[in-house]
């Protein structure tokens, strides 16, 4: 695989893109540059960080702590499939956090993190969820506002 990529021009570009992405990932404790961003979504009310926290810790609503851990002492069972959310607000700008929530495939095509604000493109959506996003625009803004408060 690596041999083929080194010879093919387009393969090489792909590798460089991946490498650049990894360089970005390797930079610690400072907001990232050159990563996807998304501006505020149109919402009917101002963002509510407290509600964002509720969503993040609700395993049926946000589902976040199925995979992530974080500074939530009241949540007994947390996941270890993903990095801790502690300090996420120092590592990423609100626009980057929002973009990741909307569709984390923009950051990593192979990610396991669900696309929270995309209702199309999934196969065999359960009938009860058809045409619906995991979170509403208001909830995306609430979670973004909350994550921005998680600073190190």
Binding stretches for ligand HEC (CB under 6 A): 56, 62-64, 66-68, 81-83, 85, 88, 91, 97, 100, 104, 107-108, 111-114, 116, 143, 147
Least separation in angstroms between residue 4's CB and another protein is 12
Q: Is 20 in the site for another protein (CB under 8 A)?
A: yes
The listed partner (another protein, ligand HEC, none) that binds 2, CB under 5 to 8 Å by sort, is another protein
- Is the Cβ–Cβ distance between 101 and 143 less than 8 Å? yes
Closest C-alpha to 144, from 83, 84, 81, 102: 102
38 or 85: whose CB is closer to ligand HEC?
85
The listed partner (another protein, ligand HEC, none) that binds 100, CB under 5 to 8 Å by sort, is ligand HEC
Kindly identify the residues of this chain, within the stretch 46-75, that bind another protein according to CB under 8 A.
Answer: 59, 63, 65-67
- Is the Cβ–Cβ distance between 56 and 62 less than 8 Å? yes
Handedness of CA 28, 29, 33, 36 (dihedral sign): positive
Least separation in angstroms between residue 135's CB and another protein is 11
Helix, strand, or coil here: 66? helix
94 or 115: whose CB is closer to another protein?
115
Least separation in angstroms between residue 148's CB and another protein is 24
Helix, strand, or coil here: 28? coil
Phi-psi region of 63 (alpha: psi -120 to 50; beta: other; left: phi over 0): left
The listed partner (another protein, ligand HEC, none) that binds 53, CB under 5 to 8 Å by sort, is none
Distances (CA, A) of 139 to 15, 33, 45, 48, 134: 36, 25, 10, 8, 9
């Amino acid at each position: 695989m690596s041999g083929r990529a080194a010879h093919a021009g387009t393969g090489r570009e792909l590798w460089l893109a991946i490498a650049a992405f990894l360089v970005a990932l390797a930079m610690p404790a400072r907001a990232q540059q050159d990563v996807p961003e998304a501006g505020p979504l149109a919402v009917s009310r101002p963002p509510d960080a407290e509600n964002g926290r509720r969503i993040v810790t609700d395993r049926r609503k946000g589902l976040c702590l199925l995979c992530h851990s974080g500074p939530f002492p009241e949540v007994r069972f947390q996941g270890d499939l993903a990095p801790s959310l502690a300090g996420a607000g120092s590592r990423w700008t609100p626009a980057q956090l929002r973009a990741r929530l909307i569709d984390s495939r923009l950051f990593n095509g192979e990610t396991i993190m669900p696309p929270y604000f995309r209702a199309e493109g999934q196969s065999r959506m359960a009938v009860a969820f058809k045409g619906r996003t995991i979170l509403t625009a208001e909830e995306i803004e609430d979670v973004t506002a909350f994550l921005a408060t998680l600073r190190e």
